[in-house]
Amino acid sequence: MIVGVYGKVVHKEDSELYLAFFQQLEKKGINIYVYESYLKELEEILDLKNSNFIPFTKKKGLPKDTKLLFTFGGDGTILSTVAYIKGSNIPIVGINTGRLGFLATFQKNEFLKELSEILDGNCSISERSVLEVKSNFHKFLPYAINEAAVMRKDTTSMITIEAYVDNLFLNTFWADGLIISTPTGSTGYSLSCGGPIIYPKADIVVITPICPHNLNVRPLILKDDVEIRLKVHSRSEKYSLCLDSRYNTIGIDDEIIIKKAPFKIKIVKYNNYSYFKNLREKLKWGTDSRN
C-alpha cells in the first residue's frame, strides 16, 4: 500500500502525534511518500534518520496507485492539495492541527484511534465538487475547491463586474468583488459576505457579491452545470483572482470563465460522521442555555 503525507507547518507540540502515526504506518509495511518541504521540517524536529520516506513534489506528484493522502493542518492545507492530486481520485484524510476544520474533521486527539479503520477502508467518502477557472491570457492552476473570487487591486474604489451565465447577461455588479462558491466553500468567504450555507451534496454554485453598492443585490444560487463569464472594469489596470488561497493578478482586458471541473475531490470521514453535527459545533449553534 502507498500513502502520501502533506502539510505546511510542523508544530513541535504535535511531535508525539507524528511519531505514533508514522510508527503505525511502518508497522503495516506501508510505503510513505511525504511532501518534500514538509519532510525537511519533520526531520528537523523528529528523529527520522532511519526512515524510508520517499519525497514527492508538485512536479513529480504522487504515484497513481496511492491509496490515501494524509494532511496535517487546517482546511487551507486540504485546499492546497488540489495542486498535487487534481483528478487522481486519491481520497484525502484531513487531520485538524489548525483552527476551524470544516474539511479536516479528524481531530488530532482522536485520529490515531481511527487510523486502523481508515487504512482498512472502514470509513465513508464525501465527494466535493471543484471549480475550473480559465482566462484568455493568463496561466495558473485552474482549480478551486472552495471558491473563485475576483476582487479590486491597487485601488480603494469599487470595481464593476459584468456577469454572464451560459452567455446570457446576468447583471453588472458594482462591488469590491464577486465570489463564485461551491457548496464546500459556502461556509467560507461567501458566508462572511452574507451567502447561504449549502449542503455539500447539492449540485449548485452560489454567486455572492462582496460589499455591493446596490443594497438590493443579494447572493444568487445556480445549477452547477452552467458556465459563468466575468468581465471586470476598474480604475486600476489590474484586479485580483483568488482561487481558494491562491492569488493571481489579472489585467482588466482579460475575461474569466468559471465552470464545474470534470472531477471531484474525495474527503475521508469516519463512519458516524454527521455534517449537521459538525456545522453546529463549528458555528457554535445551540450554545444558548435553552438548548
Please give the annotated binding residues for NAD(+), written as ranges. Answer: 75-76, 146-147, 176, 187-192
Q: What are the φ and ψ backbone dihedral angles of 279, each rounded to 5 degrees?
A: -65, -45
User: Which spans in the chain are helix H?
Assistant: 15-27, 36-45, 75-80, 82-85, 111-119, 189-192, 275-282
Instruction: Report the residue count for the chain.
Output: 291
Distance CA 221, CA 224 (A): 9
Count the Cβ atoms, other than its own, within 10 Å of residue 20: 13
**DSSP labels for 87-104?**
TS---EEEEE-SS--SS-
Q: Which of 21, 181, 162 minimizes the C-alpha distance to 93?
A: 21
For residue 42, give the C-alpha cell. Answer: 519533520
For residue 136, give the C-alpha cell. Answer: 484568455
Q: Which residue is it, cell 479503520?
A: 117
Q: What are the φ and ψ backbone dihedral angles of 269, each rounded to 5 degrees?
A: -125, 155
Distance CA 252, CA 239 (A): 7
List Cβ neighbours of 178 (8 Å cut-off, separation of 6 or more): 149, 150, 161, 163, 207, 208, 209, 210, 230
Q: Which residues are catalytic?
A: 75
Give the CA distances from residue 259 to residues 48, 86, 132, 287, in Å, rounded to whole numbers and listed in that order. Answer: 43, 15, 5, 38
Distance CA 154, CA 264 (A): 34
| Binding residue ranges | 75-76, 146-147, 176, 187-192
